[in-house]
Amino acid sequence: MAGSSAEPNGSQRPPIPVLFEDNHVLVVVKPPGTPSQEDESGDPDMLTLLKEDLKIRHNKPGNVFLGLVHRLDRPVGGAMLFAKTSKAASRLSDTVRTREFGKRYIAVVHGSPKQAQATLRHWMRKDSKRNVSDVFDRPTADAKEAVLDYAVIASSGGFSLVSVKLHTGRSHQIRAQMSAIGCPLYGDAKYGAASGQRSASHGTVALWSSSVSFPHPVSKEWLTFRSLPSQQAVEWSRWEAADLERAAHRFDA
């Protein structure tokens, strides 16, 4: 199934767009501001909402299995992959561990990086008490290597639209690394973005999961699913649709 929507019974929340679904995997578009899984806020989360929807749509008695393959930060939206069986979850988790799982993002940052395209290599350490990741230029105790590629696609009004290819999956990685080079994400007060009129839509930052790519856990066919943010959101409104498309496809090769 592709191009449909998931909406739990009785929910007043906007439906969650489904990019692809078969017996093994489910690929959806996560709305910005929705937690990937249950957290201390108690707000509706992706895992719970999608389990409820699967139970209703497929008329399944009892508990529904749905495996969380990867996470997106609560303020981030875009393409997200889930596993519908334990076997698929195990195999897809292996692709994440071995870095076969492809993740592409687009972001809006303050200013413009000194280099139009570069690889960022830092070491990051999560501070759970503050819920932030500290960034270091060299190996540091308890810090893990964090690597990403970025490319500037367009600049306007003191902001830049960038395409990002992740090589590692550290907590808040893109947000923290871009801030470390003096270009925090639009609306991301946690990592140094300006507030007020430069804030993103409520509860979000200007970061979007534009595609996920992975080998199907059963057929092994290489699959890619894409998503673009709404230009109605203030953080994306200054960019032409063609700019967003170019950003989403920049690291396809």
Residue ranges in the chain assigned as alpha helix (H): 46-57, 86-97, 173-180, 241-249
List Cα–Cα distances, 140 to 123, 129, 134, 144, 197, in angstroms.
7, 19, 11, 8, 37
Residue 164's nearest CA partner among 248, 99, 225, 84 is 248
Concatenate the DSSP letters of all residues of 75-118 into one string.
T-EEEEEEESSHHHHHHHHHHHHTT-SEEEEEEEEES--SSSEE
Per the annotation, the verdict on 73 as an active-site residue is: yes
- The H-assigned helical ranges of 181-240 are none
**Could you identify the residue written with the tokens 């870095």?**
99
State the Cα–Cα distance between residues 146 and 151, nearest whole angstrom: 17
- The catalytic residue among 53, 73, 94, 149 is 73
Nearest to 145 by CA among 184, 164, 119: 119
**Residues annotated as catalytic (active site), given as ranges:** 73
